[in-house]
């Protein structure tokens, strides 16, 4: 590995000026329109010649370590260990809405800004913005889908659009089966602002699987599911839910337990007034109703 120390970026330098200077400093030649090299932060996030993303040279801090790749290296792997946390509530005050109510674009921009800050201090944190139960429910719904499911729900164009909305990428060009793309779109819903790390985990899962020579070397659905499970396991967020949902369930279960343990006070008072003999253990029911009892809002069977 070649190391370039004390490299200086000045405000007047353009994106291409910086790349040319890095290439010269590393002794590389042949830079031209092909862009022989690219630059990443320590988490492998590429820098672009665009202000539409936080990943550009304008956001590099003094003393920050950068990684350089060539056109022959599609991906530069992160240096810091991958961490994952459940990020269901914004702790920065920068989001205008709650995490749950924010749009894909807002979450992508917000998480990207946090990732850029992480790299400067050599942290690599995946922030999961959906609880595990929400993601597993989406996967379960996908598994139950049939040919009669509306095509717009899981068509290729829709899945690609979801991924491009959640991840900063120029377009999903690799061809995958429709269901595989739908699974990747579900993964992207949990990881807006990310792209490379989820892909790394999918490839890692595939490489572990093909240690068995009988397995296919192509990416499979199980590889995407394994990547999802691994992220939530690292975050210690298996079976997690939205905080308000968990709170409601806790209150419900508490009330349910209390009702099971304590008899209804009104019934006890009525029994005391009438005497035990006045309350039979069984009651005769008139079976001559026109039909079975139905829940409110449901129609009787014809």
Q: Where are any strands of DSSP class E within 10-143?
A: 37-41, 66-70, 82-86, 124-128
CA distances 186 to 27, 76, 169, 286, Å, are 43, 25, 16, 53
Q: Specify which residues 68 forms β-bridges with.
A: 39
Residues 6 or more apart whose Cβ sits within 8 Å of residue 264: none
pLDDT over threshold 80, residue 260: no
With beta carbons less than 8 A apart as the criterion, state whether 152 and 173 touch.
Answer: no
Cα–Cα distance, 48 to 11 (Å, whole number): 16
Question: Quick one: pLDDT at residue 210?
Answer: 96
Cα–Cα distance, 157 to 300 (Å, whole number): 41
Cα–Cα distance, 88 to 138 (Å, whole number): 17
With beta carbons less than 8 A apart as the criterion, state whether 21 and 39 touch.
Answer: no
Give the residue among 55, 58, 98 at the shortest CA–CA distance from 242.
98
Chain position carrying tokens 């330098």: 13
pTM for the full predicted model:
0.75
Question: Quick one: pLDDT at residue 147?
Answer: 64
Least confident of 24-28, 105-109, 274-278: 274-278
Question: Quick one: pLDDT at residue 124?
Answer: 95
With beta carbons less than 8 A apart as the criterion, state whether 136 and 125 touch.
Answer: no
Three-class secondary structure of residue 69 per DSSP:
strand
What HEC string does 35-68 produce?
CCEEEEECCCCECCCCCCCCCCHHHCCCCCCEEE
pLDDT over threshold 90, residue 131: yes
Choose the most confident range, by mean pLDDT, from 151-165, 201-215, 239-253, 268-282: 201-215
pLDDT over threshold 60, residue 127: yes
């Amino acid at each position: 590995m070649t190391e370039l120390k004390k490299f200086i970026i000045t405000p007047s330098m353009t994106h291409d000026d910086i790349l040319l200077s890095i290439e010269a400093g590393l002794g590389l030649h042949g830079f031209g329109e092909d862009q022989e090299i690219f630059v990443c932060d320590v988490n492998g996030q590429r820098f672009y010649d665009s202000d539409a993303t936080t990943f550009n040279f304008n956001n590099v801090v003094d003393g920050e370590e950068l990684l350089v790749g060539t056109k022959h290296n599609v991906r530069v792997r992160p240096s810091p260990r991958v961490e994952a946390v459940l990020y269901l509530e914004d702790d920065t005050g920068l989001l205008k809405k709650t995490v749950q109510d924010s749009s894909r674009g807002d979450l992508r921009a917000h998480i990207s800004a946090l990732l850029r800050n992480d790299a400067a201090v050599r942290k690599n944190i995946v922030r999961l913005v959906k609880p595990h139960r929400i993601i597993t429910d989406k996967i379960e719904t996908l598994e139950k889908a049939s040919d009669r499911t509306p095509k717009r729900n899981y068509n290729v164009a829709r899945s690609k659009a979801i991924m491009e909305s959640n991840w900063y990428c120029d377009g999903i060009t690799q061809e995958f089966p429709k269901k595989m793309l739908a699974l990747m779109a579900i993964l992207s819903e949990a990881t807006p602002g990310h792209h490379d790390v989820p892909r790394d985990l999918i490839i890692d899962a595939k490489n572990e699987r093909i240690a068995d020579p009988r397995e296919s070397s192509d990416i499979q659905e199980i590889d995407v599911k394994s990547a999802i499970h691994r992220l939530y396991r690292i975050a210690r967020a298996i079976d997690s839910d939205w905080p308000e949902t968990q709170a409601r369930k806790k209150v419900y279960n508490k009330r349910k337990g209390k009702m099971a343990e304590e008899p209804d006070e009104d019934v006890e008072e009525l029994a005391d007034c009438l005497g035990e003999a006045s309350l039979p253990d069984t009651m005769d029911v008139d079976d001559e109703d026109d039909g079975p009892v139905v829940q409110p809002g449901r129609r009787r069977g014809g």
